């Protein structure tokens, strides 16, 4: 049995999640994690609320660029 990966906590309380775990869970820079304390164990998981939102990102197809749609909702292009 291979030894479990370990990490050292920095002075700021930061810890690096070992790469095999990040890869297995698809955790990338900027992802949010949820923490749960169970006795003397800390459980860490990807925030499921954000996973659902991230999976929907890019799925909405608009009939025109966002800037054009906003201009139309405001009554036409801004006049300076």
In angstroms, rounded to a whole number, what is the distance separating the alpha carbons of residues 5 and 75? Answer: 59
Q: What is the pLDDT of residues 8-23, one digit of tens each?
A: 999 999 999 999 999 9
Q: Please report whether residue 62 resides in a domain.
A: no
Q: Please report whether residue 40 resides in a domain.
A: yes
Domain that holds residue 24: 17-47
Residue 41's φ and ψ, nearest 5 degrees, are -120, 140
Q: What is the pLDDT of residues 47-78, one digit of tens each?
A: 766 555 566 666 678 888 888 888 888 887 65
Query: What pTM value is reported for the model?
Result: 0.52
Measured CA to CA in angstroms, residue 73 lies from 5, 54, 64, 78 at distances of 54, 27, 12, 11
Q: Please report whether residue 27 resides in a domain.
A: yes
In angstroms, rounded to a whole number, what is the distance separating the alpha carbons of residues 14 and 7? Answer: 10
Q: Please report whether residue 80 resides in a domain.
A: no
Q: Please report whether residue 68 resides in a domain.
A: no
Q: Please report whether residue 43 resides in a domain.
A: yes
Residue 72's φ and ψ, nearest 5 degrees, are -65, -40
**Long-range pairs for 71-74 at CB < 8 Å and ≥24 separation?**
none
Q: How many domains does the structure of the chain reveal?
A: 1
């Amino acid at each position: 049995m291979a030894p479990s990966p370990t990490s050292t906590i920095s002075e700021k309380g930061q810890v690096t999640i070992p790469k095999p775990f990040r890869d297995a869970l698809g955790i990338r820079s900027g992802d949010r994690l949820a923490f749960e304390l169970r006795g003397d164990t800390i459980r860490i998981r990807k925030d499921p609320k954000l996973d659902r939102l991230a999976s929907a990102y890019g799925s909405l197809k608009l009939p025109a660029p966002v800037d054009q749609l906003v201009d139309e909702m405001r009554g036409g292009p801004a006049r300076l």
